[in-house]
């Protein structure tokens, strides 16, 4: 029911404090029924009469802005058309070209009933909402060109694919604030939630959010985006850092650039999606980052991010992928405390072009066993915690450095590979196979330490000298006299064996042939280790 043809007079005579509003204040507010804060309870608003008052006031404001004929009969006809009481093809066509500006209005919750103001707003061709606040979940203005400019959304908000009113940013939402969850997916007020989720795909032709702040979460589901989802228009660079609880992307296709800078995210998940243009998400902090079964057809730039938990599985990168200067895992997490589940995982990933992982740190280890690198990858100055990192991961990184001729870095990862191999043998109790790798680690740290073999030569030389002096002074036989006959017989056999090794027999000391042979083997092995280490540190 429409209360009056005239603007409603309220109990108090005070005028609304909203700029250019001549309506009288509502109850104890310093603003009118249009501009005062609203309750989030629909039934309360309906019972206390505020809903009908708001409906009539908004209808009156709409009529004032679109009416070109102020006669009573013309206003009544226009009012009847807007309220759906009569059909007027001429007015319908006429209103499609009209623009109304609604500033500072607080919109209460709406439902599909008599007080649904969406029904008459939907007949207006162009609507510019400026600094309005919303206590509802969506506005389905199918045929209107709409711009939400510096508006605030206090409840969960479902984005409808409205046509965009022309503006400098080209976006539907400009400098808006979303306090709760934002959903971008197929939505219909007349369909059940279950039916809406059945393979319904919606296409958004225009850009969506420009310089917006999100204080809740974001859901993008089964949507094709022809324009940018997030953007910062030229000359409107952000002066804020927004913290988003969660962004979830499910079954979407992005035909324009996806730029998601200036947003820290607690949880970022992307499943079964395609990015056909550049994907850029740089310099941010993300607690949980998961991308599954997703294709990146152009450059994917995640430079300088801080990932606490990172999982990527069954993804294809057809262009350059950038993970440089990133940090993965808990920085202060002790090596002994890190768990297998904390490891940074790239599983069944195909990189068809260059991959940059330089200067990155993997605090909890790295798993790239099932990654396919079709082109070169850059792991320069990358730090990987060996805890939970598999031997195959170190082998892959080693081979990448070998391929580009960076043998020094390759040798470093060879060292990690062999240590991991040694641990594998120990865990599998293959102690016999451990012998040679264990000796290699003890003597030279797998070819990385030249001090160990030099120290070994000194110790072996001192021992050799002491034994030789003891032999010349007959002191060796005084060590344990009860076994002298056994030692005498054993050394006689061993010395005869050593004499028969012809190339070395002339270098063996008489009476100490077998011991001399052993020391020559020790010396040769240690000198070879020194040469090996120097070659690995100086190879070109």
Polymer length in residues for the chain: 540
Count Cβ neighbours within 10 Å for each residue of 524-537 and write b for 16 or more, e otherwise: ebbeebbebbeebe
| H, E, C per residue of 466-508 | HHHHHHHCCCHHHCCHHHHHHHHHHHHHHHHHHHCCHHHHCCC
- pLDDT for res 336: 45
466 burial (CB, 10 Å; 0-12 / 13-18 / 19+) is exposed
Rounded CA gap, 140 and 409, in Å? Answer: 59
Paired residues of 99 in beta bridges: 126
- Three-state secondary structure call for residue 201: coil
- For the chain (540 residues), the mean pLDDT of every run of 10, in chain order, is 42 76 87 86 66 90 84 78 74 83 92 82 94 93 93 94 90 94 79 58 92 93 95 63 88 95 89 97 92 97 94 96 94 59 90 95 93 92 90 92 85 82 77 75 73 81 75 62 61 66 59 71 78 72
Q: Tokens 């293959």, residue?
A: 430
**What pairing do the DSSP bridges indicate for beta strands 366-367 and 300-301?**
unpaired
Contact criterion met (CB below 8 Å) for 63 and 78 = yes
For 111-141, give the DSSP string.
-SSTT-THHHHTT-SEEEEES-EE-SS----
Contacts of 485 (CB under 8 A, 6+ apart): none
Contacts of 130 (CB under 8 A, 6+ apart): 101, 102, 103, 104, 149, 150, 151
- pLDDT for res 20: 85
Helices (H) and strands (E) in the chain, counts: 13, 38
Four-CA torsion 106, 112, 114, 119, nearest 10 degrees: 70
Count of other CB atoms within 10 angstroms of residue 383: 12
Using N-to-C axis directions, what is the helix angle for 407-427 and 513-538, rounded to 10°?
130
376-380, Cβ contacts within 8 angstroms, sequence gap of 24 or more: 376/400, 376/403, 376/404, 377/351, 378/324, 378/354, 379/409, 380/406, 380/409
- pLDDT for res 394: 92
- pLDDT for res 437: 73
- pLDDT for res 171: 93
């Amino acid at each position: 029911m429409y209360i009056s043809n005239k603007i409603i007079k309220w109990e108090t005579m005070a005028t609304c404090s909203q700029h250019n509003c001549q309506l009288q204040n509502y109850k104890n507010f310093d603003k009118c029924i249009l501009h005062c804060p609203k309750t989030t309870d629909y039934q309360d608003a309906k019972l206390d009469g505020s809903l009908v008052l708001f409906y009539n006031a908004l209808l009156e404001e709409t009529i004032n802005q679109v009416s070109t004929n102020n006669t009573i009969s013309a206003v009544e006809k226009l009012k009847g058309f807007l309220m759906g009481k009569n059909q007027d093809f001429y007015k319908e066509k006429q209103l499609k070209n009209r623009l109304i500006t609604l500033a500072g209005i607080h919109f209460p919750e709406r439902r599909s009933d008599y007080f649904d103001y969406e029904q008459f707003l939907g007949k207006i061709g162009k609507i510019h909402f400026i600094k309005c606040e919303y206590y509802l979940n969506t506005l389905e203005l199918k045929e209107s060109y709409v711009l939400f400019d510096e508006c605030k959304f206090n409840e969960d908000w479902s984005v409808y694919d409205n046509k965009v009113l022309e503006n400098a940013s080209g976006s539907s939402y400009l400098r808006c604030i979303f306090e709760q969850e934002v959903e971008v997916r197929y939505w219909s007020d007349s369909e059940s939630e279950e039916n809406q989720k059945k393979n319904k795909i919606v296409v958004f032709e225009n850009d969506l959010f420009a310089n917006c702040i999100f204080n809740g979460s974001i859901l993008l589901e089964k949507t094709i985006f022809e324009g940018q989802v997030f953007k910062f228009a030229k000359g409107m660079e952000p002066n804020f850092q927004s913290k988003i609880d969660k962004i979830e992307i499910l079954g979407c296709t992005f035909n324009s650039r996806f730029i998601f800078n200036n947003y820290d995210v607690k949880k970022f998940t992307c499943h079964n999606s395609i990015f056909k243009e550049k994907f850029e998400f740089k310099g941010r902090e993300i607690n949980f980052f998961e991308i599954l079964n997703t294709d990146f057809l152009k450059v994917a730039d995640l430079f300088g991010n801080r990932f606490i938990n990172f999982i990527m599985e069954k993804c294809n990168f057809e262009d350059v992928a950038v993970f440089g200067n990133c940090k993965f895992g808990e920085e202060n997490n002790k090596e002994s405390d890190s768990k297998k589940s904390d490891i940074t995982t790239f599983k069944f990933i195909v990189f068809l072009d260059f991959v940059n992982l330089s200067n990155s740190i993997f605090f909890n280890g790295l798993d790239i066993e099932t990654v396919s690198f079709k082109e070169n990858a850059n792991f320069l100055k990358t730090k990987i915690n060996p805890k939970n990192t598999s031997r195959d991961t170190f082998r892959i990184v080693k081979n990448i450095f070998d391929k580009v001729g960076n043998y020094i870095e390759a040798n470093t990862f060879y060292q990690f590979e062999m240590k991991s191999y040694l641990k594998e043998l120990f865990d599998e109790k293959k102690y016999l196979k451990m012998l040679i790798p264990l000796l290699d680690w003890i003597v030279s740290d797998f070819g990385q330490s030249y001090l160990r073999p030099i120290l070994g030569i000194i110790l072996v030389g001192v021992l050799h000298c002491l034994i030789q002096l003891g032999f010349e002074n007959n002191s060796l036989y005084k060590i344990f006299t009860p076994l002298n006959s056994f030692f005498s017989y054993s050394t006689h056999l061993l010395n005869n064996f050593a004499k028969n090794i012809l190339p070395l027999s002339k270098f063996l000391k008489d009476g100490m042939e077998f011991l001399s042979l052993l020391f020559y083997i020790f010396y040769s092995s240690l000198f070879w280790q020194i040469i090996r280490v120097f070659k690995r540190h100086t190879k070109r």
